[in-house]
Amino acid sequence: MKRAFLFPGQGAQIVGMGKDIYERYDEAKKIYDEASKISGMDVKKLCFEGPEEELNQTENTQIAILTTSLAILEVLKAKGIKADIATGLSLGEYGALIYAGIISFEDGIKLIQKRGYYMGNMIPNEKFSMAAVIGLDSKKIEEVCKQIAQEDKFIVVANYNCSVQTVISGEENAIDEAIGTLKEAGAKRVIKLNTSGPFHTIKLEKAKQAYERELENIKFNMNNSVKVIKNIDGTYYNENDNIKEILANHIISPVRFDKAIKLMEKEKVEEYIEIGPGRTLTGFIKKENREANTFNINSLESLEKFLEH
């Protein structure tokens, strides 16, 4: 059976995530303990107790979600459950790269800690916002963003999640204007997101440059049997890729999860497993194919239910 592992991105976090799995499985315990040791942070406390305000800070969110996903993954690996393809949403791509062995666990934790810090702290001092646009073609959304940008406002598409959901990012006044215009253009809904960073836009150029320096010290292993889909263009990583450049540019480039879905469909994936908090990515898969066989593993109950199936 062809199986894909999916790793969630920022926004999936919830206080208490992973606690029941940590208490039940030594494999999960080991991951939380090692991540805390490598990062010098009490990742376990952050995930299990919060507080929410602290967990929601980008510099904390990224390492917390990644650690939770990797703890669940470790249990699946111990049970002999493997995937042919792995991908993720933004920070989730690191879960896929670690699973494939392209990045070591230790380097992955160090990188995501730095990435979260730079993305959370190296942002221009302006008011930014993001919004999810439901039920409108991305080409139309791009047009609206270009129109508003002509008024000397910053607004771009940041995430192409699936054919019916696209996320825009920009200055708060530009996003507010876009919400009304997009509804008039036929969007079913436009939802302002609970984030203040202009993620996956050129406004994070400074964060990208700082992160490039971190990537210089990392060794990547491209001799792997698991295929990993890149967020940046929805194609597989290959040995000719400049992975440092790709991961740095990832910070300022739109996420193309829509293309990742198309590639997995083309590859005839039969089972999609989202590993970590939330159920966002399987939601995107279902939007494209109602019949898709999807699983979310984000709690002890869902893990054991999956193991029994």
Known catalytic membership, residue 90: yes
From the list 90, 129, 169, 253, the catalytic residue is 90
CB neighbour burial string for 91-101, b if at least 16 within 10 angstroms, e if fewer? bbbbbbbbbbb
Q: What's the rounded Cα separation, in Å, for the pair 7 and 164?
A: 20
From the list 36, 138, 169, 200, the catalytic residue is 200
* Architecture (CATH level 2) of domain 128-192: 2-Layer Sandwich (3.30)
**Which whole-number Å values give the CA distances from 55 to 35, 41, 139, in the listed order?**
16, 12, 35
Start-end ranges of CATH 3.40.366.10 in the chain? Answer: 3-122+202-308
What pTM, to 2 d.p., does this model score?
0.97
pLDDT tens for the 309 residues of the chain, in order:
999 999 999 999 999 999 999 999 999 999 999 999 999 999 999 999 999 999 999 999 999 999 999 999 999 999 999 999 999 999 999 999 999 999 999 999 999 999 999 999 999 999 999 999 999 999 999 999 999 999 999 999 999 999 999 999 999 999 999 999 999 999 999 999 877 689 999 999 999 999 999 999 999 999 888 999 999 999 999 999 999 999 999 999 999 999 999 999 999 999 999 999 999 999 999 999 999 999 999 999 999 999 998
Residue 200 pLDDT: 96
* Architecture (CATH level 2) of domain 3-122+202-308: 3-Layer(aba) Sandwich (3.40)
Beta-bridged to residue 271, according to DSSP, are 3
Residue 37 pLDDT: 98
From the DSSP assignment, how many helices (H) and strands (E) are in the chain? 14, 10
- Which tokens belong to 134? 């439901």
Known catalytic membership, residue 309: no
